[in-house]
């Protein structure tokens, strides 16, 4: 099974997280972009300040690789105006996919109105510019009941406010890959969490991010029904190896 069309090859480390100076981290970003082009992955997922670079490289290579970026990453706790401004800039820079971090802490506190508004407004902005929008719910920060409830909340906001033909452009996504869990527990997608998301987000598509370490994991996720997989080890997974990358 050729899984390249499912893979969002991902590099989201800041200079500090990578322990690199800016110039060296840019070289790493360029390496990921070049690899995505060469391997014909679905998308390259990078930080907002790298979007224009990726778009330029992809256009120069006459490639069909999409450019994705993260919004309000990794905690999702910024106010709505800041979220939308960051998304608007990413659109201007050429992003095809906008992966918003849902304010899952507000959801856990019961501030459902805030969460509904950001899902509505963020999705409206993305779809108005013909972008794919994904909502990251951070499954490692939620219990199974909360995963179910937040997946269903996103689905309901979309179904109540958008047309059926737009549903395929709004994903529920599992994880940032940067959430710090106690005792080295999984901080990304698990089969259990993805099953809950698929059951409760449908008819919206689901993206499994973080935790997919090898080809067998990826195929298992695809067979469950996910339509995208986010990983920083895309090449290793395609080659049948086991990636040691943290996302």
- The pLDDT tens digits of the residues spanning 45-76 come to 999 999 999 999 999 999 999 999 999 999 99
Residue 242 has pLDDT above 90, yes or no: no
245 confidence band (pLDDT: 50, 70, 90): low
119-170 per-position pLDDT tens digit: 999 999 999 999 999 999 999 999 999 999 999 999 999 999 999 999 999 9
d(C-alpha 164, C-alpha 220), whole Å: 28
Q: 212 pLDDT exceeds 80?
A: yes
Total domains in the chain come to: 1
So which residues are the catalytic ones?
A: 99, 173, 207
Residue 69 maps to a domain: yes
- Assigned domain for 246 exists: no
Look up the pTM and report it.
0.97
In-domain check, residue 245: no
Q: Which two tokens stand for residue 92?
A: 């201007």
In a domain, 202, yes or no: yes
| pLDDT computed for residue 240 by the predictor | 87
Asked whether residue 149 is assigned to any structural domain, the reply reads: yes
pLDDT per residue over 191-209, tens digit each?
999 999 999 999 999 999 9
Tell me whether residue 247 is in a domain: no
CATH number at residue 151: 3.20.20.70
Q: Which domain holds residue 22?
A: 4-238
The per-residue pLDDT for 244 is: 67
């Amino acid at each position: 099974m050729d899984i390249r069309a499912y893979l969002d090859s991902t590099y989201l480390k800041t200079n500090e997280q990578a322990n690199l100076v800016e110039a060296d981290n840019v070289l790493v970003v360029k390496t990921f972009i070049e690899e995505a082009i060469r391997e014909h992955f679905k998308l390259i997922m990078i930080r907002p300040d790298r979007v224009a670079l990726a778009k330029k490289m992809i256009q120069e290579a006459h490639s069909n690789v999409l450019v994705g970026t993260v919004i309000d990453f990794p905690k999702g706790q910024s106010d709505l105006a800041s979220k939308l401004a960051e998304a608007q800039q990413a659109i201007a820079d050429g992003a095809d996919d906008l992966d918003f971090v849902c304010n899952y802490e507000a959801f856990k506190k019961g501030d459902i109105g805030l969460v509904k508004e950001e899902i509505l407004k963020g999705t409206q902005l993305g779809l108005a510019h013909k972008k794919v929008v994904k909502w990251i719910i951070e499954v490692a920060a939620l219990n199974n009941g909360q995963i179910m409830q937040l997946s269903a909340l996103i689905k309901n906001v979309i179904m109540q406010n958008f047309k059926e033909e737009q549903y395929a452009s709004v994903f529920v996504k599992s994880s940032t890959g940067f959430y710090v869990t106690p005792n080295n527990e999984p901080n990304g997608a698990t089969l259990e969490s993805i099953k809950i998301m698929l059951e409760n987000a449908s008819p919206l598509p689901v993206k499994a991010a973080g935790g997919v370490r090898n080809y067998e994991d990826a195929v298992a996720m695809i067979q469950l029904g996910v339509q995208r997989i986010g990983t920083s080890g895309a090449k290793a997974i395609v080659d049948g190896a086991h990636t040691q990358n943290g996302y």
